[in-house]
Structure 1
């Protein structure tokens, strides 16, 4: 995601992760495997099986916690309520019926689809602040799609909405970068974070060739999209 990246093709319905129907392999969800992971002795396959089993077994509680955070943020978050109002002005309606918490099989924290709404990946969240950043990110995408008629097949469009969502959601503020992603640079920290996350998101698009292609798309729209703070007056998170 990486730090549960929002943008692994979040706008494309085919790329929005869905819950798996497979049964958990509980032979890997043990204290032995857990301590092997802590000590660095577990293989990547063992690590993945452990976390897959954990997510399946904790799915119900993860979703309930996610829904509790979502409902709280709809009531009390200034950012979420502002974006909800701005989306409404464009004819959209974001509510608990189309902002849904599900277990995801990929390392992303959320996704957006114009026809279905916002997906919150319940098994990826650290805390309510993480849910708030994700909701804000996806709400920026929703606003962009309604305001600018974003083309899913146009990588420049995709790069622009990813730049704006990373900039305005608060996910790239210094404290988040410092404590959760071990990014300790101070100079140009915001810009570097936004570039990194936007590039990762564009790379996940089916029509993106490679990292160099994604980087070029981000660079081509950077000046206009990074400076565009609509519907906010300025970057404040």
Structure 2
């Protein structure tokens, strides 16, 4: 399971040694394999839980609205369709209750994006989750990435953070930028975000995650497909990327 974690996204690397008891991040998504989230009485009383069906309806509405109105989500849907991996929202996107440490994920075994209905509650957050996870889906579709290969995992997390996450404000929030630390703030933000995603999925230490991110960083950071540009917050970049989709062959 690839947590929120093209033509050149597949770095040269060997296969990882087999691991028999690795959960691959599925423990963050209890509903992935038929479990049903059951809030405790304390959580119902103190945290207002117990409205999972209502949350699911709101989440599914946000997904639908993003697919209809968001330029960046529409671009990703067009890119997937043109790559032979057309998305059916009812089949390939699922709203579920997740661990609160993640807002979404991509399940390559089921080829399905998970939107965490208890975390990504707004349309804006849903747009971010869909864009991020559709990049993973695009990488898996176009290049058959092996998400159990930690270098492949690091590469797609770099690409997703690069193309959908790391604005200057995001970098500030992660401690990778400040008014006195601007140079390479975006790259540092991408490295931090990618390393955190690798750690969430593979349960490796931070030094191990950062080492593998550094190893594949240059190649994966410079691969901008299918968006073609890094999206700046509060800019026209999303609209420009959508209008330029024909240059990449995306209808």
Task: Please give the TM-score of this superposition, normalised by the length of structure 1.
Answer: 0.76
CA gap of 1:162–1:80, structure 2 versus 1, over 3 A, is: same
Alignment-derived partner of residue 153 in structure 2: 158
Note if 1:200 corresponds to 2:196. yes
Q: Quick check: 2:77–2:87 contact (8 Å CA) kept in 1?
A: yes
Check the 8 A contact 2:28/2:102 in 1, yes or no: no
Gaps of 5+ in 1: 31-49
- Structure with larger RCO (C-alpha < 8 A, sep 6+): 2
Q: Counterpart in 1 of 2:63?
A: 70
Deviation at 1:58, TM superposition (A): 2.4
CA distance in 2 between partners of 1:168 and 1:126 (Å): 22
Cα gap change, 1:136 to 1:219, in 2 (>3 Å): same
Q: Quick one: distance in 1 between partners of 2:30 and 2:186?
A: 31
Tell me how many residue pairs correspond in the alignment.
205
CA gap 1:162/1:15 in 2 versus in 1, 3 angstroms: farther
User: How big is the alpha-carbon RMSD for the aligned residues of Structure 1 and Structure 2?
Assistant: 2.5
Q: Secondary structure at the match of 1:100?
A: strand
In structure 2, the CA distance between the partners of 1:28 and 1:128, relative to structure 1 (3 Å rule), is closer
Q: CA deviation at 1:16?
A: 5.8
Question: Residue 191 of structure 1 aligns with which residue?
Answer: 187
Deviations 1:184-206 (A, max 9, x none): 52513322221111001112344
Q: Secondary structure at the match of 2:113?
A: strand
| Change in 2 beyond 3 A, CA 1:158/1:145 | same
Partner of 1:42: none
Partner of 2:103: 109
